[in-house]
Structure 1
């Protein structure tokens, strides 16, 4: 079983979206199978083997999520974030403004899927190894 402390240790190395693939490999190595991060406050639910689940607390003040998703603008902002042009707090604010409510990372399929407030899939991407 993994702990929130192990995840925090791995996450402490993330400065920009460019650090994401290394973070994913590290938390995968401790047993995380998938997780969902909620844009409203940054809390995250982590799931491992045998449905083991733990939750990391909120990281940010509550953000209102826009009712409408601007997919094209989100794609552009996501690309900037992945290239290291924005930090995590800025990315969360941008997601909220553009209607992204959460994302789920599947460490088995190595995908990251973004959803709107209604839970509809907005975008799915393959995570680079």
Structure 2
């Protein structure tokens, strides 16, 4: 079973959204099957192959997530982040501003799905393979 220390070590290598595919590959090697990250406080719940769960503590001062998702605004913020234009804390702030409450990554499926406060899908995307 993976540990939060192992996950934090892998996450420490991520400088921008451009590093995300390599991070996902490393999580898969650790045995993480899926995880959910919550924008409001930055905590993440990680799940193993038998739904065993490990979670992190809040990573920042609470953010107020907008009640209504701005899909176009979020898509633009995500594009900038994936190209390395924003840091992780800046991306979290953009998510909150544009009404994204959390995202779920299914490591084996290679998908990342963003949700609003009502649980509706804001965006689902495929994670490109790491180079």
TM-score normalised according to structure 2 size: 0.97
Q: Name the structure 1 match of 2:105.
A: 105
Q: Name the structure 2 match of 1:24.
A: 24
Distance in 1, matches of 2:17 and 2:50, equals 30
Deviates more, 1:4-13 or 1:49-58: 49-58
Runs of 4+ in 1 over 3 A off after TM superposition: none
Distance in 1, matches of 2:14 and 2:76, equals 20
Aligned-residue RMSD, C-alpha: 0.5
1:86-125 superposed matches below 5 A: 86-125=86-125
Unaligned 5+ residue runs, structure 2? none
Superposed CA offset, 1:14-52 (max 9, x none): 010001000000011000000000000100000011111
1:99 is paired with a residue whose SS is coil
TM-score normalised according to structure 1 size: 0.99
1:1-129 superposed matches below 5 A: 1-129=1-129
Unaligned 5+ residue runs, structure 1? none
Distance in 1, matches of 2:51 and 2:118, equals 25
Once the two structures are TM-superposed, the CA of residue 108 in structure 1 deviates from its matched residue by 1.3
Superposed CA offset, 1:71-127 (max 9, x none): 011101100000000000000001001100000000111000000011111100000
